[in-house]
Amino acid sequence: MEIKDVINKAKQNDQIAFNFLLDTFWNDVYAFQLKRTQNENDAEDITIQTFSKAFDKISTYNEDYNFKTWLITISRNIHIDLVRKQKKTIRNTSKDNEDSYLEIIDDSPTPEDKIITEQNLAKLLRDIKKLKPHYQEVINLRYFQEFSYKEISDELNEPINNVKVKLLRAKKLLAAIITKV
């Protein structure tokens, strides 16, 4: 099957097409990010964000360009955005043009922030319980027990790519639940 056919099926929300694209291009995007970040966890997280964003915006894909190039561009932009956010937390400030020092922003939560966080967490847990049990399990293992994809794969006795796709679907379904008013 040609990539263009698969992309057209993906544009029609065909889950098999999404799985095929994920399996076909995962290693390319992951390797690209691994070279950029020099960190397996960051590379994995950015790669997941890349596919999530690409699948959400697949209807905007222009077939004049190579699909892999489109994915790599999305991935590069996500990485650039993350680097910019990190740089904003520590600003370089100079005083009298002589003494340079780093001003570190205090981002420790206030008591109000802690209460809001607890309320948000309670709501998130309620929303997670609305998902099917296998989606609840994969979210619990990844985000609450902080398992790696390999550990989740071993725990669920499923291939690692299935775990990644299941997690992507779970996050997408959870986002839909959260955004419902």
Type and span of the H or E element at 157: none
- In percent, the amount of the chain with pLDDT more than 90 equals 46
Domain covering 108-179, topology: Arc Repressor Mutant, subunit A (1.10.10)
Whole-number CA gyration radius for the chain:
20
Rounded CA separation 113/111 (Å): 5
Calculate ∠ Cα 16-157-137, nearest 5°. Answer: 80
Amino acid at 134: H
Domain ranges of the chain: 3-87, 108-179
pLDDT at 107: 72
DSSP string, 18-56: HHHHHHHHHHHHHHHHHHHH--HHHHHHHHHHHHHHHHH
Q: Provide the mean pLDDT of the chain.
A: 86
| Alpha-helix runs per DSSP H in 57-159 | 67-89, 111-128, 133-139, 149-156
Q: pLDDT tens digits, residue range 47-94?
A: 999 999 999 899 999 888 899 999 999 999 999 998 888 877 655 444
Q: pLDDT tens digits, residue range 38-47?
A: 998 889 999 9
pLDDT at 68: 94
Predicted confidence (pLDDT) at residue 130 exceeds the cutoff of 80: yes
Predicted confidence (pLDDT) at residue 142 exceeds the cutoff of 60: yes
The CATH-assigned architecture of domain 3-87 is: Orthogonal Bundle (1.10)
Do the domains 3-87 and 108-179 sit in the same CATH topology, yes or no?
Answer: no
pLDDT band at 97; cut points 50, 70, 90: very low
